[in-house]
Structure 1
Amino acid sequence: MKVRYPKYVKAWSIVMMLLPWLLIPLLGKSAFKRFFPSGIFISFVVLFVNWIARKRRWWKWYDAFSPKITWVIPFTWGPFLIGAMWILKLTYGNFLRYIALNIIIDGMFTYGLGYYLKRFKIFSLLRLTKNQLMSLFMIDALILYGFHYLKEKVQ
């Protein structure tokens, strides 16, 4: 039996993945070179956490292209990757500002955008509460900052 997806899901997911990349020129070449490895690293961490979450049914990313390619792919390689680089550019070196900005952005996703993502069948929480999701986001933020800090120390 062939699965039918809503009419514009594939187009929206491609736009969601590619649109943030238009902000790269504003980031600047040196900032891109500096923060891109950390963005790639945390994106793979997020994909690993999503793999665990799928197994444990913490949350669900609905299908974007197929059952194997869900909305987590466009979110991770679009807004998340580019957003991580922008957050590092704007706040790296001031840890309190970094944490505050992460709390604001992750809070908007968790407590605001989450409702709409569920309504439009993109993402929904299953066995995780919003507070647990927010804690997981904060752990990811600490991992990102720590990785970038160590990367800068090695260079």
Structure 2
Amino acid sequence: MRRKNIYILLMTILPWLTLPLIGRKVVKRFLPGTLFMSVYLIIEGLIAEKKKWWRFHYPVKPNVIGEFPLIIGPFFIGSLWIFKFTFGKFKIYQVINLLIDYIFIYGLLNILEKIGYVSLMKMSKFRLSLLFLVKTFFMYGFQVIYEKYFRYKSI
């Protein structure tokens, strides 16, 4: 159990160590899209828990969804990095997201299952990859709409 705690803690904290490298303007610019998708993921996690799509065996705290460390760690910071290098280049954005999703689903997810953090129940890896793909469109679309209506100055 102790080893799992260390893995989860590292998975949550290590991405945040790269935040200063992203740059303040980039964070400010892409924070709305990243926050939108983070809230979406929390809601999705609540739905997934009820529908038994997947199960997180690691209780972070009572009444906190198990995927919360993934959302606030690698997803949140990773989204800022991806937006920094690909926003405005939708095809590259999609390719990078497909690659990262593939690595997560067919690599990291196996490790997380081995350490007993998560297991897929009623959701196949293929369906999970489709769900991830849909979310990339939502996040990019939200950011495009946000920038259109709030006219953020280009970096």
TM over 0.5: yes
Secondary structure (helix, strand or coil) at the match of 1:63 reads: coil
- Structure 1 vs Structure 2 CA RMSD: 1.4
2:85 is matched with which residue?
Answer: 90
Provide TM-score, normalisation by structure 2.
Answer: 0.90
1:63 is matched with which residue?
Answer: 58
Q: Are positions 1:135 and 2:126 aligned together?
A: no
Shift of 1:8: 3.6
Map Cα deviations across residues 20-60 of structure 1 (whole Å, 9 max, x no partner): 11111110110010011211110110111111110000011
* Counterpart pick for 1:23 among 2, 10, 18: 18
CA contact (8 A) 2:4 2:117 kept: no
Q: Are positions 1:99 and 2:91 aligned together?
A: no
1:76 is matched with which residue?
Answer: 71
**Percent identity for Structure 1 against Structure 2:** 35
Q: Are positions 1:7 and 2:33 aligned together?
A: no
Cα pair distance change 1:121/1:67, threshold 3 Å: farther
Shift of 1:64: 3.9
Shift of 1:67: 5.1
Secondary structure (helix, strand or coil) at the match of 2:2 reads: coil
Provide TM-score, normalisation by structure 1.
Answer: 0.90
In structure 1, how many angstroms separate the alpha carbons of the residues matched to 2:61 and 2:7? Answer: 14
In structure 1, how many angstroms separate the alpha carbons of the residues matched to 2:142 and 2:67? Answer: 22
Secondary structure (helix, strand or coil) at the match of 2:133 reads: helix
Shift of 1:85: 0.9
CA contact (8 A) 1:10 1:65 kept: no
2:111 is matched with which residue?
Answer: 116
CA contact (8 A) 1:17 1:79 kept: yes
In structure 2, how many angstroms separate the alpha carbons of the residues matched to 1:44 and 1:134? Answer: 19
Aligned residues: 150
Which residues of structure 2 form unaligned runs of 5+?
Answer: 151-155
Which residues of structure 1 form unaligned runs of 5+?
Answer: 1-5
Shift of 1:69: 3.5
CA contact (8 A) 1:63 1:70 kept: no
CA contact (8 A) 1:59 1:124 kept: yes
In structure 2, how many angstroms separate the alpha carbons of the residues matched to 1:135 and 1:93? Answer: 23
